Structure 1
Amino acid sequence: MRRFLVLSMNLCLFLSLQAQQTQKPPLHGKNWMAITGKPLAATAGAAIFQKGGNAVDAACAMIAATCTMWDVLSWGGETQALIYNPHTGKVIGINALGMAPTGATADFFKNKGMHYPPEYGPLAAVTPGTPGGICTMLAEYGTMSLKEVLTPAMQMAAGYPIEAQTANSMERGKAQIKQWPYSKAVLLPHAGQEREAPEAGEIFKQTDLLETLRKMVEAEQQALKKGKNRKEAIYAAYARFYTGDIAKEFVRGCKEQGGLITEEDLAKWKVQIEEPVSVNYKGIEVYKLQQWTQGPAMLQALNILENFDLKSMGYNSARYIHTVTQAMQLAFADRDFYYGDPYFAPAEPLKGLLSKEYAKERARLIDPAKNLSPALPGDPYPFEGKSNPFTNYLSKWNTSKPLAYSPVDEKYLEQVWRGTTSVEAADSAGWVVSVTPSGGWLPACIAGHTGVGMSQRMQSFVLDSVFNPFNVVEPGKRPRVTLTPTLAMKDGKPYLSFAVQGGDTQDQNLLQFFLDVTEFGMTVQEAVEAPNVNTYQLYLSLGGEDRKPKPGSLLVNSNTPDWIRRELIKMGYKLTYEDRTSGPVNAIYFDSRHGTLWGGSSNHGEDYGVGW
């Protein structure tokens, strides 16, 4: 009888959620869809579509616009994307993540008394990736010129009415911004006044950045005049940024402020066009970027969860929340130890990590009655016919003392949710793009007179192999990042395209969004607004010196019913509550039955979409 009552209550909760009107309307389109983190940037994508561009052209314009608006990223950050090419029927990965510069070694940072590379400033910077990422995506898969695609960003660099969120972020971070002369000149135009940052609605101008973008377009146009084709001309702009006068000024400004990046570092770095990884979840092929991101952790969690009947548990019941949380914690423990740059030795055991048999072994660790603490990395090597060469490091994880519980404070939450943005674009020709660009967020250090804010992604490396033998910093290496766009295919056709901002919470929220749609039949707008849970039982990828897991800590939505709270507490969870438990998911659903596009844009933050 009690089981019947619990199921009935869960059903009523789910049906009441289904009956609620979403805070934002779903987007509908027949020809194209453009969604990103800022309204003006979505408008930039729409403008490119209206001029006849495809989804790649529009996505590049939106990335450029969001970088110019400092939407928790800037031009010196990194871009990672998944692109579906309808002509080949293949999903392509774009790796435009910067690398550690010359001199960036574990000993270099240890000798400065650090346990991780720093959060901010020139020493936090890997080489800029976004300019190269935009150029490569556009040259290889777009249809328009760089001049056309960068026009909205250039107009904004010349001056746009800044929004309160960014302006206030500049004001809050002004003490750090003042450490860096080029940042101070750009980001604090009212130096010496009570409010030194721009006000909301004020025209914010970036003269140096405009000149950098103008130089890139000039290189493209000069190449076209010399008879180069569209693709070659775009790569001429790429070359000017990484090997020409822009590179020289970037390096000069970086070194002047104490950074390590050299001209040789910029010239050696290249965008990688990759084969993404995927798993099949109940007939849906889910694609992620490789293990230099945390993306495969979501695929591991799906493999684990395939061993459970989630739908019968009821949407966000205590049993459902517990099962999903345990799968996430096991997948993230593997992420913390085994993920790193695949272009550097040692080779990550990705085949074993994504094995269905390994997932079954991990699933058997889930106790339906209590939280597994600590959740430790497993051993995927036998599932690819090998022996684990790092058992000595794993043994140190296994014999470590249980971590004491520490409360979740504002500083910790800032580290967990630290931002990026997302870009989703699709068109009627079948092109689909999902991007999670990031890096160079406020307070950022601008490199000389380029107007380009440098990345802070170096902090995602570790300095000791005990923590992760695949992600120890060294020159030329890319850090393992949290950034994780997603594409899903069904019956050989695009099914879902989705991404989210939020540091270590990204694949947690994307996993639950995906399950909301596939297991519980939500529309994309319902799913982007639906309450999620977030576990803090993992090592943080960003932040200060303390990155340790918080055993049992679980964020749940403030509207979670009391009886579910009580059951979770009995299972060993320490609950915190927020009205916002997912951070802004943006998504496109491909309605194959009607041949239309459904867009979902988060009701948190300033995310915005336009469809036609």
Structure 2
Amino acid sequence: MKNIIALLLSFAVVVPTLAQQTQKPPLHGKNWMAITGKPLAATAGAMTFQKGGNAVDAACAMLAATCTMWDVLSWGGETQALIYNPKTKKVIAINAMGVAPTGATPEFFKSKGYNFPPEYGPLAATTPGTPGGLLYMLANYGTLSLEQVIAPAMEMAAGYPIEAQTANSIEREKERIKQWPYSKKVFLTHPGQKREAPEAGEIFVQKDLLATLTKMVEAERAALKKGKSRKEAIMAAYDRFYTGDIAQEFVRGSKEQGGLITMQDLAKWKPIEEDPLMVTYKGIDVYKLQPWTQGPVMLQALNILENFDLKKMGYNSTQYIHTVYQAMNLSFADRDFYYGDPAFAPQEPIKGLLSKEYAKQRASLIQQNQNNPKIGPGDPYPFEGRKNPYLKLLKERGYEMDTTKRNFAPSHDIRNGSSMVDYQNRLLLGTTTVEAADKDGWVVSITPSGGWLPACIAGNTGVGMSQRMQSFVLDAQLNPFNVVAPGKRPRVTLTPSMALKDGQPFLSFAVQGGDTQDQNLLQFFLNMAEFGMTVQQASEAANFNTNQLWLSLGGSKTNDRKPKPGHILLHDSTPAAVRDQLKKMGYTLTFDDRTSGPINAIYFDRAHGSFWGGSSNHGEDYGIGW
């Protein structure tokens, strides 16, 4: 009898009711909604709305503010966004990811003893993408001037009360920061003292960054004075950053510290407006960026999970956790081998990867009663009418492509790598998110990152350089689509999301957390679509993470990045019966009291003509609605 009761409990449906209390209240608004990773930055978005700006203006203001606050990113990082344009009723994608600089080749990094490009310092830097992305979005879809939009960020650069999270991060990383003279000058405000970083609440001043932002505004003003249009004036600021005196100092400072970025690299780089990818899950159209991000992994997982009755299984039941875990593993195995920059050969088989028929084939590989530690990439090529050119390579890696057999991982994928703690830290590496919407229908979802602490600042610009080079591989055997090359974008974890229902915005959502992003976003979406949670309940709900994937960040050795088959992170509240069942299915369990994000999201309440905002109870994320 005890065994029967335990089994029933493991399949129990635990769904929050609409009245269930959340740790943070949901946000409500009629006119606009602004949510991001820091309270002060959310205020910058609110200030911009109050100036009459639209959601794009507000999103750009929040992006500028979070960069200035070093909210796990800076001005030299990268930006990727989805924008719903109510005039065209379409979702567009903004690709403002920087590229590998001149000289960044596999041979160069291997000559220095790396298995992956380094985590820190000037050699970790792609070209800066965030300034270009912000200026492009603002010029083409905003309504205000650059000066109006970045005024809060400029005021903060002149001095703002730094919060404990960032101040303590500086103190923890001060020995690394001391390696770079310009970073040391900015961050270590009390040199030689026991605590060399700023204190929480101390007014943190960034004179060099303020000078850089001022130069951009001066370029805009000068262009307007000459009779240029609003858009032309904003792009004049763009030119000053990427080809003018700001660029010259950025390149000089980078090279002085051993970096590779050239003036030509900055001048040639451009943000790209592109079509997003989309799949339909039970009548809801879900949008993601192209496979230079990991975004399609969520779309693949949704296609696989459409073949199962998740609602019947019950929220976070044993069978639900097992099924979603396996679907994520199948999708991440494809990500780890087939995703990369579409602007470079070879061409990613994205049509096949997102095929519903391919998803059915992948779903058939899920074993109902045990974890499969030997899942490998599938063969999507037949589902787009092509022959897989990498069958030989996959065979050399040890993958069996015969679909009548189980895929299995090569031996080096299964060996134990670095400690579980180090692996988990790399898995959860953070960034920030920006969500904005307005009454006219504009919706923006951004997952910016790069240039996080400890950041190497490029000369006297005050701009921290990106660390995204580490997401490339140096060996085609790991992923032939993501091998580093000059001018190429790395395959990143950054993945804003948007969903439409009946042709109208339904959800706009994003999360920080490295390789966990699309895991948490997938479960957040299912929490609402399958289990009827409110947006705040869904953002706080207990999720789980798979570690059965190749890490995208952290560690310069292959051993640091290897998958941990069967390892799963569960919430502390997971019932004992579920834990026991998962162990019997071959899982290795770890636990935490925060497994949900932090997720930021906006739900569009069509019945009442209002917005619901959700902002996770994990971290300093914050929102304001009106």
TM-score range, shorter chain: over 0.9
List runs of 5+ in structure 1 lacking aligned partners: none
- Residues 1:75 and 2:75 are matched in the alignment: yes
Q: Which amino acid aligns with 2:505?
A: P
Q: Which of 514, 517, 524 in structure 2 is aligned with 1:506?
A: 517
Paired position in structure 1 for 2:439:
428
SS at match of 1:80: strand
Check 1:187–1:97 CA distance in 2 against 1; reply closer, same or farther (3 A cut).
same
Alpha-carbon deviations, 1:110-158, whole Å to 9, x = none? 0111100000000000000000000000001000000000100000000
Superposed displacement of residue 14, structure 1: 1.5
Superposed displacement of residue 411, structure 1: 2.0
Paired position in structure 2 for 1:475:
486
- Structure 2: how far apart are the matches of 1:43 and 1:16? 30
Alpha-carbon deviations, 1:17-67, whole Å to 9, x = none? 765410000000000000000000000000000111000000000000000
Q: Which amino acid aligns with 1:185?
A: K
Paired position in structure 2 for 1:442:
453
Paired position in structure 2 for 1:160:
160
Paired position in structure 2 for 1:26:
26
Q: Which amino acid aligns with 2:485?
A: E
Check 1:306–1:262 CA distance in 2 against 1; reply closer, same or farther (3 A cut).
same
SS at match of 1:540: coil
Q: Which amino acid aligns with 1:444?
A: A
SS at match of 2:323: helix
- Residues 1:607 and 2:618 are matched in the alignment: no
- Structure 2: how far apart are the matches of 1:251 and 1:17? 55
Superposed displacement of residue 406, structure 1: 5.7
Paired position in structure 2 for 1:574:
588
- Structure 2: how far apart are the matches of 1:436 and 1:358? 29
* 1:73-112 to 2 correspondences below 5 Å: 73-112=73-112
SS at match of 2:28: strand
* 1:128-527 to 2 correspondences below 5 Å: 128-398=128-398, 400-401=410-411, 403-405=414-416, 409-527=420-538
Superposed displacement of residue 310, structure 1: 0.3
- Residues 1:542 and 2:556 are matched in the alignment: no
Check 1:447–1:314 CA distance in 2 against 1; reply closer, same or farther (3 A cut).
same
Check 1:446–1:330 CA distance in 2 against 1; reply closer, same or farther (3 A cut).
same
* 1:43-62 to 2 correspondences below 5 Å: 43-62=43-62
- Structure 1: how far apart are the matches of 2:551 and 2:145? 40
Superposed displacement of residue 405, structure 1: 4.4
CA contact (8 A) 1:376 1:397 kept: no
Q: Which amino acid aligns with 2:498?
A: L
CA contact (8 A) 2:18 2:534 kept: no
Q: Which amino acid aligns with 1:610?
A: I
SS at match of 2:414: coil
CA contact (8 A) 2:417 2:561 kept: no
Alpha-carbon deviations, 1:255-286, whole Å to 9, x = none? 00000000000000000000000000000000
SS at match of 1:14: coil
- Structure 1: how far apart are the matches of 2:154 and 2:223? 20
CA contact (8 A) 2:15 2:533 kept: no
- Percent of pairs with identical residues: 73
Superposed displacement of residue 396, structure 1: 2.7
Q: Which amino acid aligns with 2:465?
A: M
Superposed displacement of residue 13, structure 1: 5.5
Paired position in structure 1 for 2:123:
123
- Structure 2: how far apart are the matches of 1:67 and 1:147? 16
Q: Which amino acid aligns with 2:426?
A: Q
Paired position in structure 2 for 1:36:
36
CA contact (8 A) 1:336 1:539 kept: yes
Q: TM-score, with normalisation over the residues of structure 2?
A: 0.96
CA contact (8 A) 1:76 1:127 kept: yes
SS at match of 1:526: helix
Moved more, 6-15 or 217-226: 6-15
- Structure 1: how far apart are the matches of 2:373 and 2:537? 32
- Structure 1: how far apart are the matches of 2:494 and 2:449? 8
- Structure 2: how far apart are the matches of 1:397 and 1:153? 49
Q: TM-score, with normalisation over the residues of structure 1?
A: 0.98
SS at match of 1:107: helix
Q: Which amino acid aligns with 1:552?
A: G
Check 1:353–1:2 CA distance in 2 against 1; reply closer, same or farther (3 A cut).
farther
Superposed displacement of residue 582, structure 1: 2.2
Root-mean-square deviation over aligned CA pairs: 1.5
Alpha-carbon deviations, 1:312-347, whole Å to 9, x = none? 001100000000000000000000000000000110
Moved more, 453-462 or 411-420: 411-420
CA contact (8 A) 1:501 1:584 kept: yes
Q: Which amino acid aligns with 1:500?
A: V
Check 1:255–1:395 CA distance in 2 against 1; reply closer, same or farther (3 A cut).
same
CA contact (8 A) 2:81 2:496 kept: yes
Paired position in structure 2 for 1:584:
598
Check 1:2–1:562 CA distance in 2 against 1; reply closer, same or farther (3 A cut).
closer
Q: Which amino acid aligns with 2:253?
A: G
SS at match of 2:286: strand
Q: Which amino acid aligns with 1:373?
A: P
SS at match of 2:312: helix
Q: Which amino acid aligns with 1:522?
A: M
Paired position in structure 1 for 2:402:
none
Superposed displacement of residue 11, structure 1: 8.2
Alpha-carbon deviations, 1:164-210, whole Å to 9, x = none? 00000000000000000000000001110000000000000000000
Off by >6 Å, runs of 4+ in structure 1: 1-4
- Structure 2: how far apart are the matches of 1:365 and 1:2? 32
- Residues 1:554 and 2:565 are matched in the alignment: no
Superposed displacement of residue 581, structure 1: 1.1
Check 1:591–1:394 CA distance in 2 against 1; reply closer, same or farther (3 A cut).
same
CA contact (8 A) 1:122 1:257 kept: yes
CA contact (8 A) 1:458 1:479 kept: yes
SS at match of 1:394: helix
Alpha-carbon deviations, 1:221-264, whole Å to 9, x = none? 10000010000100000000000000000000000000000000
- Structure 2: how far apart are the matches of 1:536 and 1:576? 11
CA contact (8 A) 1:10 1:315 kept: no
CA contact (8 A) 2:16 2:533 kept: no
SS at match of 2:150: helix
- Structure 2: how far apart are the matches of 1:557 and 1:17? 19
CA contact (8 A) 1:405 1:551 kept: no
- Structure 2: how far apart are the matches of 1:492 and 1:16? 28
- Structure 1: how far apart are the matches of 2:548 and 2:448? 26
List runs of 5+ in structure 2 lacking aligned partners: 400-409
Superposed displacement of residue 395, structure 1: 1.2
CA contact (8 A) 1:376 1:398 kept: no
- Structure 2: how far apart are the matches of 1:117 and 1:171? 25
Check 1:256–1:460 CA distance in 2 against 1; reply closer, same or farther (3 A cut).
same
Q: Which amino acid aligns with 2:480?
A: P
- Structure 2: how far apart are the matches of 1:301 and 1:125? 31
Alpha-carbon deviations, 1:65-119, whole Å to 9, x = none? 0000000000000000000000000100000000000000000000111100000
CA contact (8 A) 1:57 1:138 kept: yes
